[in-house]
Amino acid sequence: MAKMQITFPGNKKVNALLNGFEIKTDQPKQAGGDSTAPSPFELFLASLGTCAGIFALSFFESRKLNMEGFKLELDFKWNPQRHLLDKVEILLTLPGDFPEKYIPALKSAVDLCLVKRTIAEPPEFETIIRK
């Protein structure tokens, strides 16, 4: 895995340079930002949904299943006292012709999402100060 470089282009914008991509973030106006990009937390949430989505897409494609009408949504349960997420629900709406026999396998495939698995078994974090 490559290292990530963080840049500070102005005001509340904080960007990440990773694998040749610049990932832009900003804070909402009510937090002093310019609302020009998602906040870092919104990108975190989006990474959960898009990760689950790529596993679902691969499942459908590998079995040549119809995706018309398929919907994947995430519902976030927030704990205001802890100021953290309490629960993330991944909601799958299946096409009418989706074979019943594949439902457990689709759920298992979506649960393989690397972002979800990393949160479930979090890595060690260490902040190192250099001068």
Phi and psi (nearest 5°) for 122?
Answer: -65, 145
CATH superfamily of 40-131: K homology (KH) domain (3.30.300.20)
Domain ranges of the chain: 1-37, 40-131
Percentage of the residues of the chain whose pLDDT score is greater than 90: 98
Percentage of the residues of the chain whose pLDDT score is greater than 70: 99
Q: Quick: pLDDT tens for 9-54.
A: 999 999 999 999 999 999 999 999 999 999 999 999 999 999 999 9
pLDDT for res 21:
95
Are 25 and 39 contacting, i.e. CB atoms less than 8 angstroms apart?
A: yes
In 3D space, the residue among 111, 130, 129 whose CA is nearest the CA of residue 121 turns out to be 111
Sign of the dihedral defined by the CA atoms of residues 11, 16, 20, 21, in that order: negative
Residue 91: CB partners within 8 Å, gap ≥ 6?
71, 72, 73, 74, 75
